[in-house]
Amino acid sequence: MARAPGPPNGAAMSSPIAVVILAHNNPEHVRRLIRALAGFDIFLHCDTKTPDDVLAAMTEGLPHVVLTPRYRTARANWGMVEGELAGVRTALERSQAEHIIVASGSCYPLLSAADLQEELSGWRGLSRLELSPIPYLGWSFRAGKPDGGLWRFNHRFLTIRGSMVLVHHGYPIPIGRRTIPAKFKLHASSQWKIYAREHAQTVLRALDASPELVRFWRGTFAADESCVSTILSSPELVGSVAEEIRHDRTWYIDWHGGDLGGHPRWLEVSDFPRLKLERGRPPLKPDDDRERGEDSRKLFARKFGHDSKAALDLIDEQLRI
């Protein structure tokens, strides 16, 4: 496994927060994101289809970044989960962090690293991720199907050489029905989340010990949007850990102007007033009720790209101070 230089002799890193970044392009932004998270333990996963020179550019001048095993992270495929879990596993091996943040290469923090660390210091042993029970109305609307996303789980889909075939604005081809295990408490989520260390270990143990779990999720459309949240919400799989997960929409993402394939909008300078508003909301507390997770302070936003520099400059100048 190729790694960027890190602590000598595989020694554990020491920050209370580790960040796993899943990236595939735009080295300039990835470097800016890593610099914005200075002081945290950084683990970078890069898609296998990304050229080596692009990967090298992502970490140029940043010797503290650790590279993780690389997977093909094609949209809606199991590889998205494999890439995340490879990063999480490496973070657990190389870091002593109490929380592991999973972010994309197009994310950016809305708080300074010091403020983010202060907020998470009160969340020891608790994870923050979106937890929307299935059926989920948002998935009925986006897919034009009335069952709230159940179709993602109760069908098998056409795959070629292990990759799901996507057609018609990015949706799979069903080839048969299957039974959803009764032990699953299905939840829609986002891949971008904050794990408590113990919960990251719990997810890995569950999947490592149960090949049937991997087989089920490998055949699930966009498993990165449901696998981890369902495992952590299912008492038959994780016991009392299911009571330690908190619903929180921690990222600001604008889905309303995205394309028909289900992609969110790229954020620009005109979005800064909304980003400032979301950054200024009251922070979520561990004992808040579920509804507070809908309108709590946003810690990150995405997607930022080549045309986002002016917005990022304002975030740094006015929010991350």
Q: Could you give the 3-state DSSP secondary structure of residue 237?
A: helix
Task: Tell me if 113 is assigned to some domain.
Answer: yes
pLDDT digits 0-9 by tens, 261-300: 568 999 999 999 999 999 999 999 999 988 888 889 999 9
CATH code of 101's domain: 3.90.550
Task: Tell me if 171 is assigned to some domain.
Answer: no
- Structural domain count of the chain: 1
Task: Tell me if 182 is assigned to some domain.
Answer: no
39: buried, middle or exposed (CB in 10 Å: 19+, 13-18, 0-12)?
A: middle
pLDDT band, residue 138 (cuts 50/70/90)? confident
Domain of residue 18 covers 8-131+187-218+244-319
Task: Tell me if 56 is assigned to some domain.
Answer: yes
For the cut 80, the answer to whether the pLDDT of residue 166 exceeds it is: yes
136: buried, middle or exposed (CB in 10 Å: 19+, 13-18, 0-12)?
A: buried
Q: How far is 219 from 163, CA to CA, in rounded Å?
A: 9
Sign of the torsion formed by the C-alpha atoms of 144, 145, 147 and 148: negative
Task: Tell me if 60 is assigned to some domain.
Answer: yes
Task: Tell me if 227 is assigned to some domain.
Answer: no
Q: How far is 220 from 50, CA to CA, in rounded Å?
A: 25
Q: Which helix (H) or strand (E) holds 128?
A: strand 127-129
pLDDT band, residue 2 (cuts 50/70/90)? very low
pLDDT value for 1: 34
Task: Tell me if 152 is assigned to some domain.
Answer: no
Task: Tell me if 16 is assigned to some domain.
Answer: yes
